Chain A
Amino acid sequence: MMYEPVEVIRARRDAALADLVRSVPYLNVLGIKFDRRGDELTAILPFAPSLIGVPTPPAIHGGATAAFLESAALIELAWSSSWARIEAGEEMPRLPRTINLTVDYLRPGLPRDAYARARINRFGRRYASVHVEAWQDNRARLFAQATGHFLMPEGA
């Protein structure tokens, strides 16, 4: 049996993720990046002064936090629903559309990097339900969490 070289696998997956993230202009405005371990993604929001919503004491804008959580959910959905296509070297389908998002603000977003991981609780042909957790210094101390419902594109 022939094994695909690890460099080839890594390059294909990294390129697919980079293309997906680059295709959404708004992700670049916020500076959102994604870290990949196999198929597991962690969204990263590097702190920037332009993210501040409350000047003193400085805190990340609640809307930017919501945008970060929604982005983490959308990319997770697009990524995990396209895994087989990525492995086959096919094109990614269109992005899912957000139906709604409920954000629970647990603590102020401090002026430092933030991280988020999304968990798909329901993935159907049409609708998906996703929960996202975001933290800064301590994984166990969330500063925000969200639940969102999404409409999947045709043929996802």
Chain B
Amino acid sequence: MLMDLSNRSKEFVAAIPHCAALGIHVVDTANAAVTLGLPYDVRLVGDPATGVIAGGAVSVLMDTAAGAAVMAHPDAHGLTATIDLRIDYMRSATPGQRIIARAECHHVTTHVAFVRAFAYDEDETRPVAIANGTFTVIRAQPSGTEA
């Protein structure tokens, strides 16, 4: 069961053309948390004066990680969509380093998953960005618990 869920989130990421375009890949899917990686790429630079990766590329990484965390949750079935996502950019990612995002559902209701994601470069003691989002949930039918 857990293996299936892990595979489901891997397949979810692998099937996304925009993730392939940016080089986003699954790093780890253990313990209900999904970790994705984004390799450093000069094409993704947002500020030419510093060489720092664009916040937008980090948004893609975090939104995908959060969506994959919903897909990996045992209560969620089928696809999920982002309702809203807030990203705080705590510091600039170090140019040249890979960025990873680790996402986890911290609460799942009948229709909504509440997800939190942290992004790091090679220094995993200080997050580059923190995201909080809500996502749609499709429950297995019949559940008998639909509100």
| A interface residues (Cβ-Cβ under 8 A, vs B) | 23-26, 28-30, 49-55, 60-64, 66-68, 70-71, 94-95, 97-105, 108
Contacting pair B83 A70 (CB below 8 A): no
A26, A28, A49, A66: the one contacting B85 at CB < 8 Å is A66
- Name A's interface SS: mixed
Q: How far is the CB of B13 from chain A (nearest CB, A)?
A: 11
Contacting pair B54 A94 (CB below 8 A): no
1/0 per position for B58-102, CB-CB distance to A under 8 A? 011111100100000000000101111111110010000000000
Contacting pair B43 A63 (CB below 8 A): no
**Chain B contacts of A102 at CB under 8 A?**
84-87
Interface size on B, residues (CB 8 A): 39
Q: How far is the CB of B112 from chain A (nearest CB, A)?
A: 13
Q: How far is the CA of A98 from the CA of B3 in the complex (A)?
A: 38
Q: How far is the CA of A103 from the CA of B89 in the complex (A)?
A: 14
| B interface residues (Cβ-Cβ under 8 A, vs A) | 15-22, 42-49, 53-57, 59-64, 67, 79, 81-89, 92
**Chain A contacts of B17 at CB under 8 A?**
49-53, 55
Q: How far is the CA of A154 from the CA of B83 in the complex (A)?
A: 35
B49, B61, B81: the one contacting A94 at CB < 8 Å is B49
Contacting pair A50 B21 (CB below 8 A): yes
Q: How far is the CA of A101 from the CA of B83 in the complex (A)?
A: 14
**Chain B contacts of A51 at CB under 8 A?**
17-18, 21
